[in-house]
Amino acid sequence: MEIYRFNCRTDDKTAWKCSADIINKSSDIKKEYKTFNTPEYTGLRDKIAEYISKNQDKLLPGNNTVDIPASILGDALQSKAKQDSNKNKQPLNTQANKKAAIQGKHPIQYMGTVQKRYPEEASEFTSELLSFCNKHRIEPNTLMKLMAVETGGKFDTTTQNEDGYAFGLIQFTRQAANDIGVPWETIKSASLVEQFQYAEKYLEKQARNQGVNLADLNLENLYLLILYPKGIKSPPDADAIVIPATDVRSYNSNISINEKDGDNDGFIERGDIRARIAKW
């Protein structure tokens, strides 16, 4: 009989986490069910909570560990496995759709906002966007969503963060400007197209630094390439820490991701990044 050992702790009144050591399971499956603090695990968390509430006497020493037979969790585990399977399935025409998107044959999201704010530059911006995306095999809407996240959907080249230390289409910092050898003030006063070109340079530079191809990165990792480039090397798990609290400056600069979009547990994890992106 397969048994799952869960270590549970209450973080606050609204959220709790579980980590599991899975008995009689291979290490790769153990990793799959490591934590359960993201929405897709709701059913599994409910099953765990229900079992614990009815079996308080089976809690192991410390009152935070319990062994649950796999048969009891069956439906929840199968539901999660099905979600993962569906997530990994891609339509047969995925590549054709991506090619069509790169060539501008699909509607470009947020372009109405761009046209309204920058009517004289919208056409040139579209051409520059498609050119860059064609060069690196990126879907235009992936980059548009990335800039929507960074500008709060405004696509304003002067949009600043709360502390005023970052601004623009990808929230340029002084360090980012230094990385591409362009004065911060120059980027700040650039036109829409010019600032997008600086964003291109930054993405290309960071991709080279991390030894990755832009074409291979999804929206989440493209966002990390801007936010905290080293973070793209972190595991894909929702609980994988992408900005450690030990990197005080980077953590504090992006603490709102954890406090406003994430689970406010003191770590900036991939799950927090996904929650922020999901809003757009």
Tokens of 149: 């996240």
Same domain, 16 and 128: no
Question: Where residue 87 falls among pLDDT bands split at 50, 70, 90?
Answer: very low
Question: Where residue 122 falls among pLDDT bands split at 50, 70, 90?
Answer: very high
CA dihedral of 238, 241, 242, 245, whole degrees rounded to 10: 150
Q: Is 264 left (phi over 0), alpha (psi -120 to 50) or beta?
A: left
Name the domain count of the chain.
2
In three-state secondary structure terms, 51 is: helix
In three-state secondary structure terms, 67 is: strand
Instruction: Report the C-alpha gap between 222 and 217 in whole angstroms.
Output: 6
Same domain, 19 and 100: no
pLDDT digits (tens, 9 = 90+) for 24-33: 443 333 333 3
What average pLDDT is seen over the chain? Answer: 78
Same domain, 30 and 137: no
Q: Answer for the pair 73, 79: CB distance below 8 angstroms, yes or no.
A: no
Same domain, 7 and 48: yes
pLDDT digits (tens, 9 = 90+) for 125-169: 999 999 999 999 999 999 999 999 999 999 999 999 877 889 999
Please list, in sequence order, all residues whose beta carbon lies within 8 angstroms of the beta carbon of residue 13, skipping any fewer than 6 positions away: none
> Of the ranges 82-96, 161-175, 216-230, which one carries the lowest mean pLDDT score?
82-96
Same domain, 109 and 7: no
Q: Is residue 195 one of the residues assigned to a domain?
A: yes
Q: Is residue 275 one of the residues assigned to a domain?
A: no
Could you tell me which residue, 141 or 246, shows the higher pLDDT?
Answer: 141
pLDDT digits (tens, 9 = 90+) for 192-219: 999 999 999 999 999 999 999 999 999 9
Same domain, 102 and 206: yes
Q: What mean pLDDT comes out for the span 235-252?
A: 80
**Which pLDDT does position 151 carry in this prediction?**
95
Structural domain span for residue 17: 3-88
Rounded to two decimals, what is the model's pTM?
A: 0.64
Same domain, 63 and 101: no
Q: Is residue 243 one of the residues assigned to a domain?
A: no
Same domain, 61 and 178: no
Q: Is residue 14 one of the residues assigned to a domain?
A: yes
The neighbour count for residue 145, using CB atoms within 10 Å, is: 19
Beta bridge partners of 60: 65
Q: Is residue 173 one of the residues assigned to a domain?
A: yes
**Which pLDDT does position 85 carry in this prediction?**
46
Q: Is residue 189 one of the residues assigned to a domain?
A: yes
Confidence check: pLDDT of 181 > 90: yes
Question: Where residue 11 falls among pLDDT bands split at 50, 70, 90?
Answer: very low
Same domain, 194 and 82: no
Q: Is residue 253 one of the residues assigned to a domain?
A: no
Confidence check: pLDDT of 268 > 60: yes
Q: Is residue 279 one of the residues assigned to a domain?
A: no
Same domain, 100 and 193: yes
Same domain, 99 and 37: no
Same domain, 81 and 170: no
Question: Where residue 105 falls among pLDDT bands split at 50, 70, 90?
Answer: low
